């Protein structure tokens, strides 16, 4: 049987470590938003955030609504693209009734989230905050700090737990580093 695990050079963050950390973030989110009189909307950015989003929403205890947006991504390369296109927009009425928490898989250049925060503010949300599973601060091209963050990682291209390379490896239950020869095969 061909297993995607065989393509992984190293597990960077194990399933158990992620699970524990997601629980801690959920507690922080519960504490932070329990003081608000608005409805919390978790806004997942497709597709990378789906695994994190699914785990996080189960661990948050205050009431949440969910929605998704999709923005243009990599197209198989390991370099972040500078031009962002909205492929699936957020179409909700009365966004002023919502605290929006954008849920992302990883922050790299910072361009995606800094753009989206402004975009959702313009749409009239009561507040806009960000939550990312992973952060690669050494790669920043624009100033950006997440409000909630799972793990700060070094400048390595990672896959698994929602993150892909060329649409593959999203289903791996941990965050790992691919064998370098697999990037070169393309």
Among 13, 103, 111, 129, binds ligand IMP (CB under 6 A): 111
Q: How many other CB atoms sit within 10 Å of the CB of residue 51?
A: 20
Residue nearest to Mg ion (CB): 48
Percentages (nearest 5) of helix, strand, coil residues in the chain: 30, 30, 40
Contacting ligand IMP within 8-47 (CB under 6 A): none
Binding to ligand IMP by CB under 6 A, coded x per residue (else -) over 48-87, reads: x------------------------xx-----x-------
The question of whether 16 is a catalytic residue gets the answer no
* Residue 5 C-beta: closest distance to ligand IMP, Å: 17
Which residues contact residue 31 at a Cβ distance below 8 angstroms, ignoring those fewer than 6 apart? none
- Distance between CA atoms of 75 and 34, rounded to whole angstroms? 39
Applying the rule CB under 5 A, the residues between 24 and 83 that interact with Mg ion are: 48
Measured from the CB atom, the residue of 34 and 72 that comes closer to ligand IMP is 72
CB of 104 to Mg ion, least distance (A): 6
Among the listed residues 22, 41, 106, 178, the single contact to ligand IMP using CB under 6 A: 106
Q: Are 80 and 109 in contact (CB under 8 A)?
A: yes
Q: In what order do the strands lie in the sheet with 64-71?
A: 86-88, 64-71, 39-46, 98-107, 127-135, 148-152
Binding residue (CB under 6 A) for ligand IMP from 112, 119, 149, 170: 112
Task: List the one residue from 107, 117, 120, 128 that touches ligand IMP (CB under 6 A).
Answer: 107
109 scored as a contact of ligand IMP (CB under 6 A): yes
Question: What does the alpha-carbon distance between residue 10 and residue 103 come to, in Å, rounded to a whole number?
Answer: 25
Q: Which of 108, 135, 143, 155 is catalytic?
A: 108
Contacts of 178 (CB under 8 A, 6+ apart): 7, 8, 9, 157, 159, 165, 169
Catalytic residues: 108
| Chain positions contacting ligand IMP, by CB under 6 A | 48, 73-74, 80, 104-112, 157-159, 163
């Amino acid at each position: 049987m061909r297993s995607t695990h065989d393509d992984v050079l190293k597990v960077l963050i194990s399933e158990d470590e992620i699970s524990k950390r997601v629980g801690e973030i959920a507690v922080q989110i519960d504490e932070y938003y329990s003081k608000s009189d608005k409805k919390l909307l978790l806004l997942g950015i497709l597709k990378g955030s789906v695994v994190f989003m699914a785990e996080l929403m189960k661990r948050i205890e205050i009431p949440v609504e969910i929605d998704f947006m999709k923005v243009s991504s990599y197209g198989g390369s390991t370099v972040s693209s500078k031009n962002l296109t909205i492929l699936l927009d957020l179409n909700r009425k009365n966004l002023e009734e919502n605290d929006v928490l954008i849920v992302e898989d990883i922050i790299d250049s910072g361009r995606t989230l800094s753009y989206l925060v402004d975009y959702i503010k313009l749409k009239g949300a009561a507040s806009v905050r960000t939550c990312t599973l992973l952060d690669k601060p050494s790669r920043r091209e624009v100033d950006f700090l997440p409000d909630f963050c799972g793990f700060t990682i070094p400048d390595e291209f990672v896959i698994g737990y929602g993150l892909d390379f060329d649409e593959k490896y999203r289903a791996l239950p941990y965050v790992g580093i691919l064998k370098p020869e697999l990037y070169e095969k393309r």
